[in-house]
Amino acid sequence: MRRFSTAFVAAVALGTALTSVPAEAHPGLASCTADACHFDVPPGTYDVRVTLGGGAASSTSVSGETRRALLPETTAPAGVGRVTRSFTVNVRTPEGEPTGPEGTPGLDLRIGGSAPALAGIRVTPARQTRQIFLVGDSTVCDQSGDPYSGWGQQLPQYLREGVSVANYADSGESTVSYLGNPKLWATVRPLIRPGDLVLVQLAHNDKTTDEATYRANLETLVEGVRARGGQPVLVTPIVRRWFNADGTLNNGTALLVNGLGVDHPAVTRSVAAERDVPLIDLTAKTKALVESLGVEGSKALYLYNEARDNTHTSVRGATAYAGLVRDELVTQRLVPKGTVRVG
């Protein structure tokens, strides 16, 4: 793929949809092919404005970097009409999990959808952006391999220009390891600016962490965010898909009670109440959703069919769970309603 290099501004304007005319036919389109674009920009936060549509009715989605969903499938009518959408994306190294490979330098976008038609694209450095940092484990992170997906990987598609997601969740991490690894908390904390949100969901790997330590670690994360002027938000862990005979998830495996008897969601709720921290009770919300779908219907949310995995989510499950987080961000007024896609 040929690349378009610029340190500050990268822009492409197309007269017709890339799906109908080869990229080579458009002078200056070295940044894009029919299904992908690459911009040689340094790490930072960028606003992306896309114009969608073409001669035929179209339906286009945009993903980027390590399989992040950035724009949900968006329809445009046939003809001269065009649809414009904007979003903000975080570009960093490593581009996915903090302890993973560095990935490709710059910003990579992929054009998808059932009938994609990209008619124009413009990438500019973001001037006023609120970051949502994510601190979590494999159920949250930017998973590199299909069919795995963390809910944090799907969250960006629900946000408009002006709010970006910096997903520093990492597979296999507990509160203990996240605080102790210099690539994790020691890297995230200095990046937090006044007004930024920091969502913390850590529990799945705290299998041998005693209650006092788990509580203290959550408190350390909360105070570390506040010391930087950020807004901590505690998130209880997503449930494991582990049904009782009566069709409920009322058991320690599903509800993240570890081998020492530590009830992670309960401790998280307690710390949130005691420290006056906003709480997203994702345990309760995912429990209700999984139980409503039942034993068979809920399989599609997880990787049961692919790997008999009742912990990690599919793209469908991660998208549904990200939607639950989006709803809470709006309901609790943690982000302005106008910056969130509700459809």
Chain centroid to Cα 297, Å, comes to 24
* Chain length of the chain: 343
Average pLDDT over residues 306-327: 98
Report pLDDT for 161. 95
- Distance, in Å, from the CA atom of 231 to the CA atom of 224, rounded to the nearest integer, reads 10
Say whether 224 sits in a helix, a strand or coil: helix
pLDDT of residue 270 exceeding 90? yes
Closest CA to 235 of 273, 265, 276: 265
Mean pLDDT of 248-264: 98
pLDDT of residue 337: 86
* pLDDT, mean over the chain: 91
Task: Estimate the crossing angle of helix 282-297 against helix 315-331, to 10 degrees.
Answer: 150
Q: How many CB atoms lie within 10 A of CB 303?
A: 20
Give the span between the Cα atoms of 214 and 197, in whole angstroms: 21
263, 270 contact by CB (below 8 A) = no
pLDDT at 331: 96
Predicted pLDDT of residue 81: 78
**Residue 171 predicted with pLDDT over 90:** yes
Q: Binning pLDDT at 50, 70 and 90, where does residue 30 land?
A: low
Model pLDDT for residues 178-192, shown as the tens digit of each residue: 999 999 999 999 999
Alpha carbon separation from 296 to 242, 292, 293, 302, 307 (Å, rounded): 12, 11, 7, 11, 15
Phi, psi angle pair for 76, to nearest 5°: -140, 140
Q: Taking the model in full, what pTM does it have? A: 0.91
E strand spans, 168-308: 197-201, 231-235, 279-280, 302-303
- Tell me how many degrees the CA angle 341-137-72 measures, rounded to the nearest 5: 20
Point out which residues pair with 5 in neighbouring strands: 40
Tokens of 246: 């009566």
Lowest mean pLDDT among 74-83, 101-110, 159-168: 74-83
User: Cα–chain-centroid distance for residue 167?
Assistant: 6
Which among 127, 131, 120 is positioned nearest to 10, based on CA atoms?
120
Percent of the chain with pLDDT over 90: 85
